[in-house]
């Protein structure tokens, strides 16, 4: 392993190939569909890379500017304590959820349950084959929820892909009973408009509400019609999950005509995705507040009435944000971090040519009170280590590290690895730790790295799309207080009140 004081790590300031300018131009001028994040129906992994980019990466490895293929580098305050390769589910690894001594790992082919009672030796408890793009995952008590964002022949786990133009096609939410972790049981399915790219739990006393984020409607899709300017809300009775059903479709972007009232995208705002729904929503139940990352818009809304969320603030960044991807509140709920998924997760955007402000996080202060809250931009944060043009890299899923009085976050950056960074000073964020691998391969294609990196009960867990389940331990005085904080359950998009 290579540590922080190694010359290879210090020199990771890779210049870019001349072809990067062409990539940048393509990203800036792409039609809205080209900015769609994540792989949709297709697994990540086979985006073609030019020979020039591959040759530049080889030279950078030879010169010690970047790690070698699959070589691990990390800061001195991070320890890589475990890796569990993919097993029976060969698809792309996706999101993570946690409960007690278990971690739940989504995969495009289903999900896997790990026993993490000993984080240094995670043990597979069960693997469930249930193909469906994304398979975004969360848990609540004895229930597990799984998003399906690919058009399927039916709602079963034996379904096959089927065109969205066919009325009989299905996509939406699946519900499993996980009271027996060794033998999860599929108990319910709820079809939702345009499927479920991601979902967010809003737990209530007797019921669980699910906010379903989906997008990219088409007049040719019977179950995904434009303008699709809102979210589906599902109500799941905890004691009768088989009765789960859609109870509403609140419009978040009211407007006239088939385009609704969200960001119009190109040509009005070149390089920005047209808003036709949300990509991800994070709720802070203790404050009755939610933040939505909605393609061309970032929003705050009240969830005092979970069936009828009310938008109270909306912002755009038509200069540096291509696709509003996800959101994270700080503990005091006076800041929110929005991520921009420039290039859809399949492009090399962590280089000098694209720079520090695109494909980054946007940090906003939340000012005001009640329904008068406003979002005020403060700064961008992007990992300071340039990646090669053979590595897909952009801001992706992360979580708070619960340190009272500080705002510290751990975050996945695909092949940019895992970054731990401090945004206590909103205007001057800084990285304090990192872990990454060198390029996945130099065979002319890219697509891998950490999809989600979350802090849970003393450790960082990362679901690498290609390499499997990683466990990291950070040893740093700035994050050490978090080791004393424990939670029984963690769905990162349902943020806990750690100190309430």
Model pLDDT for residues 240-267, shown as the tens digit of each residue: 999 999 999 999 999 877 778 999 999 9
DSSP 67: P
Q: What is the pTM of this model?
A: 0.92
What pLDDT is stored for residue 258 in this prediction? 77
User: Bridge partners of 190?
Assistant: 173
Angstrom CA distances, 130 to 154, 169, 322, stand at 12, 16, 32
Distance CA 133, CA 149 (A): 5
Q: How many CA atoms lie within 13 A of 350 on its CB side?
A: 30
What pLDDT is stored for residue 82 in this prediction? 98
DSSP structure string for 85-133: ---S--S-EEEEEEETTEEEEEETTEEEEEE-SSTTS-EEEEEEE---S
- Most distant CA pair in the chain: distance in Å? 61
Distance CA 93, CA 108 (A): 6
Distance CA 109, CA 151 (A): 14
- Block mean pLDDT (10 aa), the chain, length 500: 31 36 33 34 59 87 91 98 97 97 98 98 98 96 97 97 96 98 98 98 95 96 96 97 98 87 95 97 97 98 96 98 98 97 93 96 96 96 94 97 98 98 98 96 84 98 97 98 97 95
DSSP structure string for 345-363: GSSB--STTT-SSSSSEEE
- Dihedral pair phi/psi, residue 99, rounded to 5°: -155, 120
* Residue environment code for 357-393, b if the CB has 16+ CB neighbours within 10 A, otherwise e: bbbbbbbbebeeeeeebebeebbbbbbebbbbbbbbb
pLDDT tens digits, residue range 414-463? 999 999 999 999 999 999 999 999 999 888 777 899 999 999 999 999 99
Q: Where does residue 319 rank: exposed (0-12), middle (13-18), buried (19+ CB within 10 A)?
A: exposed
What pLDDT is stored for residue 18 in this prediction? 30
What pLDDT is stored for residue 46 in this prediction? 56
DSSP 242: G
What pLDDT is stored for residue 52 in this prediction? 87
What pLDDT is stored for residue 181 in this prediction? 98
What pLDDT is stored for residue 220 in this prediction? 97
Q: To which H or E segment does residue 21 belong? A: helix 20-29
CATH code assigned to 7-490? 2.130.10.10
Sheet hosting strand 374-381, strand order edge to edge: 324-329, 335-340, 361-367, 374-381
DSSP structure string for 176-200: EE-SSTTS-EEEEEEE-TT--SEEE
- Tell me if the bond preceding 267 is cis, omega within 30° of 0: yes
What pLDDT is stored for residue 38 in this prediction? 40
């Amino acid at each position: 392993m290579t540590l922080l004081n190694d010359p290879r790590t210090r020199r990771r300031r890779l210049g870019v190939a001349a072809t990067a300018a062409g990539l940048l131009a393509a990203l800036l001028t792409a039609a809205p569909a080209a900015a769609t994040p994540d792989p949709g129906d297709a697994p990540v992994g086979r985006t073609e890379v030019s020979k020039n980019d591959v040759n530049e990466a080889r030279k950078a490895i030879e010169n010690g500017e970047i790690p070698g293929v699959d070589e691990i580098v990390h800061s001195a305050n991070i320890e890589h304590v475990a890796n569990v390769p993919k097993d029976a589910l060969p698809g792309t690894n996706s999101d993570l959820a946690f409960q007690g001594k278990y971690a739940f790992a989504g995969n495009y082919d289903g999900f896997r349950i790990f026993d993490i009672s000993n984080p240094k030796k995670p043990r597979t408890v069960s693997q469930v084959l249930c193909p469906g793009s994304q398979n975004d995952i969360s848990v609540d008590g004895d229930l597990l929820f799984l998003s399906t964002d690919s058009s399927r022949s039916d709602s079963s786990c034996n379904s096959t892909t089927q065109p969205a133009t066919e009325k009989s096609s299905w996509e939406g939410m699946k519900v499993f009973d996980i009271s027996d972790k060794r033998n999860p049981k599929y108990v319910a399915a709820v079809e939702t408009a345009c499927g479920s790219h991601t979902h967010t739990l809003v737990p209530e006393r007797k019921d669980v509400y699910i906010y379903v984020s989906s997008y990219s409607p088409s007049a040719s899709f019977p179950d995904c019609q434009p303008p699709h300017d809102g979210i589906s809300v599902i109500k799941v009775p905890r004691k009768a999950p088989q009765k789960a059903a859609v109870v509403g479709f609140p419009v978040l972007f009211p407007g006239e005509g088939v385009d609704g009232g969200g960001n119009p995208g190109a040509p009005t705002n070149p390089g920005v995705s047209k808003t036709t729904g949300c990509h991800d929503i994070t709720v802070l139940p203790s404050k009755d507040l939610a933040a939505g990352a909605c393609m061309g818009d970032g929003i705050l809304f009240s969830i005092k009435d979970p069936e009828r969320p009310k938008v109270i603030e909306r912002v755009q960044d038509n200069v540096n944000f291509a696709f509003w991807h996800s959101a994270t509140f700080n503990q005091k709920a006076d800041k929110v971090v929005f991520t921009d998924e420039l290039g859809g997760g399949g492009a090399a955007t962590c280089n000098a040519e694209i720079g520090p402000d695109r494909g980054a996080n946007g940090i906003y202060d939340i000012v005001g009170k009640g329904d008068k809250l406003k979002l005020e931009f403060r700064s961008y944060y992007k990992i300071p280590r340039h990646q090669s043009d053979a590595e897909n890299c952009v801001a992706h899923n992360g979580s708070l590290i619960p340190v009272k009085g500080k705002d510290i976050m751990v975050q996945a950056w695909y092949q940019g690895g895992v970054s731990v960074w401090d945004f206590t000073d909103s205007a001057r964020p800084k990285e304090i730790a990192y872990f990454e691998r060198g390029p996945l391969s130099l065979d002319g294609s890219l697509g891998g790295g950490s999809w989600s990196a979350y802090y849970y009960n003393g450790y960082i867990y990362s679901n690498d799309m290609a390499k499997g389940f990683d466990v990291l331990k950070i040893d740093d005085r700035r994050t050490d207080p978090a080791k004393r904080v424990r939670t029984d359950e963690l769905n990162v998009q349902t943020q806990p009140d750690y100190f309430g």
